[in-house]
Structure 1
Amino acid sequence: MADNELPMNVREDKVSEETKKLISSLPKDKDCHGNLCKYQGCWYYYNTLQAVINFQKHFQPQDTDIILASSPKSGTTWLKALTVALLERSKHDDDDDPLNHHPLLSDNPHGLVPFFENNLYLKSSTPDLTKYSSSSSSSSPRLFATHMPLHTLKEGLKGSPCKIVFMCRNAKDALISLWYFRCKYQKLEATRSILESMFESLCRGATFYGPFWDQILSYWRGSLKIREPCAQLKRLAEFLGCPFTEEEEEKGGVNKILELCSLGSLSDMEINKTGKNVNGVDYKFYFRKGEVGDSRNHLTPEMERRIDMIFEEKLRGSGLSF
């Protein structure tokens, strides 16, 4: 794939002269896309680094902002969909058709909840953020997303008490999802050689937004582990300030949102079959299996043991395990 056909966030055509000077002083590496540089402990493509710097310098947070943070290919689409559905539910609670005119039917979760560094600040150092609230009401919180580690994100939040929700996933399953995702949008066959190259990058920590273990450790104390969907969805709603009422629970409101935001439901929506994101990636590529443990079907036992040993060492003493 030619450089100008790659998603904008992995290219090098938006970098300022000032950032080029910074990049010249940073540690560097490469992956299957191209050049990476390490900034504040995290690896970025050059355009993405420019967007991170734009965000840190220019973002003006509001106390009611909600930031959805995640590791790449770790349930990000699902987390965005759940959050939109929670905040929008009072406006779409029609007795005959509770999903009538729901925003998830007309836009992909990534269109509704933009990334700071892969969307907004990638295109402009001062993007228009007025449309990114959960409804047209000015009192509704603005919704944003990021893959940045917490210390880098906080530099742009400037002490704001806004809410941050973090989603992470077993690194082996995230690796397989990323392998399929990249091969799909690059129009490549998902070969073993590509997987093995990505595996080696993961193991040495030189991956986009990596090292994986440092990224998740930066958020660990504030993270949510989605293991019991109903209970955790209610916990998320309470954290976001929109708890379910007893009446909503009695009417099955929790299960309605889980059904709306399920992998099957989202992938079957027309917008997600035909639409593309701002970087030109088909929305359909964001939906595959969503299964825990699918990595066993692709990684050798030796590869699994190597990843397990690395993460056991890197996460030792943190209280976090997979």
Structure 2
Amino acid sequence: MEVQESSLKPCPPLIVVTNIEVTDGKYKELIDSLPKEERFPPGLRKYKGFWQFQNAIPGVLAMKEDFKPRCDDVIVSSFPKSGTTWLKALTFTIMHRDKYTFSSHPLLKLNPHDCVPFIELHYSLKNEQYLETLPSPRVLGTHVPYSLLSDSIKTSTCPIIHICRDPKDVIVSFWHMSAKFDWLMEPLSFKQTYELFCEGRVPTGPVWDNVLEYYTKSLSSPKKILIIKYAEMLKDPANSVMRIANFIGCPFSKEEMKSGLVEKIAEFCSFNKLKNFDTKQSEGNLKSYYYRKGIVGDWQNYMTPEMANNLDKITKEKLCDSSFTF
């Protein structure tokens, strides 16, 4: 079935779940019993080892219980501010490269998060039926740790691509985004954000546990999960385009390679291009949720050497039992 642009629609940013009131008795008692972190307004709860916005937990639980993937779905996974928007744009464009020309592409009018909706967001909004209206093949996104995915996703044939990024840059990007949360009467300082991050007390954190779940599973199921590192993708985007295409079962033909299509997709989905032609989502400051600098090493402009060394030490300790590095 051909993907029609009309089947896609603008979606609110995932952060809207913070404004959802938890009234569903099915989950309210459970949520009220979970450990709470009040330093990160409007409050986080720890469920199964991971901190979540307490108002997002019903959507996460409903997704885990009820979501059924299609055999040709592709799941894009990430810890927040790790390159999610970029990976969504690349994966969607690669998957549907025979449906759209660059001059009439949905990304010219819609944000990558509209083309690749977050599964848990629509469950939180009780709008999960929208996901069923999308024609196959679907590309869907999630920030949910692997252990909290539905069993139907884990046992399905649909591939999962997980992108990860240096935690130091993640903190900086996350802090800039959180400063734009309209529900924060007083935005968190960088020091406060840093301390909470180091403790793992941020949405879907700790980051190390989130990434390690996907990485560990990728070792035993390399055809199921592909790990993409942000720094490597930035260094050689064309190679990442080919890796993604091969992994999701859409390899480039010799003719496509010869025509330069790989490089054209990498350029079309480059950070600067996405930031510039994402016109519709600039309203209401939504663009600033998704795009800032997109570079490696910006943490040096915000952290003292002591802060950076401390976080590197924590990261090394958290990853010491694995071969994974950012």
Aligned residue in 2 for 1:219: 214
CA distance in 2, matches of 1:308, 1:102: 41
Asked whether 1:288 is paired with 2:289, we answer no
Of 263, 266, 284, 1:255 maps to 263
SS in 2 for 1:89: coil
Secondary structure at the aligned position of 2:129 is classed as coil
How big is each residue's C-alpha offset from its partner over 1:122-174, in whole Å with a ceiling of 9 and x where there is no partner? 111742323334xxxxxx32111111111111435262221100001011101
Q: Counterparts of 2:185 and 2:302 in 1: how far apart (Å)?
A: 14
Tell me the equivalent position of 1:122: 124
From the superposition, tell whether residues 204 and 158 of structure 1 become closer, same or farther in structure 2 (CA, over 3 Å): closer
Task: State how far apart, in whole Å, the 1-side matches of 2:262 and 2:211 are.
Answer: 28
Which string of whole-angstrom CA distances, capped at 9 and with x for unpartnered residues, describes residues 30-53 of structure 1?
Answer: 243221111121111122101001
CA distance in structure 1 between the partners assigned to 2:159 and 2:283 by the alignment: 29
Task: Quote the Cα distance in structure 1 between the aligned partners of 2:124 and 2:302.
Answer: 34
Aligned residue in 2 for 1:3: none
After the TM superposition, which residues 7-156 of structure 1 pair with which residues of structure 2 at under 5 Å, given as runs? 7-92=15-100, 98-117=101-120, 119-124=121-126, 126-133=128-135, 140-155=136-151
- AA matched with 2:259: K
Alpha-carbon distance, 1:62 to partner: 1.3
What is aligned with 2:159?
A: 163
Question: TM-score w.r.t. structure 2 length?
Answer: 0.86
**More displaced stretch, 13-22 vs 77-86:** 13-22
The one-letter code of the counterpart of 2:268 is L
Match 2:176 to one of 167, 180, 198: 180
- Alpha-carbon offset, residue 187 of structure 1: 9.0
- Provide the C-alpha distance between the structure 1 equivalents of 2:114 and 2:199, rounded to a whole number of angstroms: 33
Cα contact 2:278–2:287 (8 A) shared by 1 = no
Instruction: Note the aligned Cα RMSD (angstroms).
Output: 2.2
Q: Percent identity among equivalent residues?
A: 38
Q: How far did 1:289 drift?
A: 0.5
Equivalent residues of 2:43, 2:54 under 8 A apart: yes
Map residues 289-308 of structure 1 onto 2, 5 A cutoff: 289-308=293-312
CA contact (8 A) 2:110 2:281 kept: no
Structure 1 residues 187, 255: closer, same or farther in 2, change over 3 A? farther
- 1:309 maps onto 2:313 in alignment: yes
Structure 2: which 5+ runs fail to align? 1-13, 219-224
Question: In structure 2, how many angstroms separate the alpha carbons of the residues matched to 1:288 and 1:190?
Answer: 21
TM-score, structure 1 normalization = 0.87
- 1:188 Cα offset (Å): 7.8
Q: Is the 8 A contact 2:73 2:137 kept in 1?
A: yes
Which whole-Å CA distance do the structure 1 matches of 2:157 and 2:51 have between them?
Answer: 27
Tell me whether 260-269 or 156-165 shows the greater mean CA deviation.
156-165
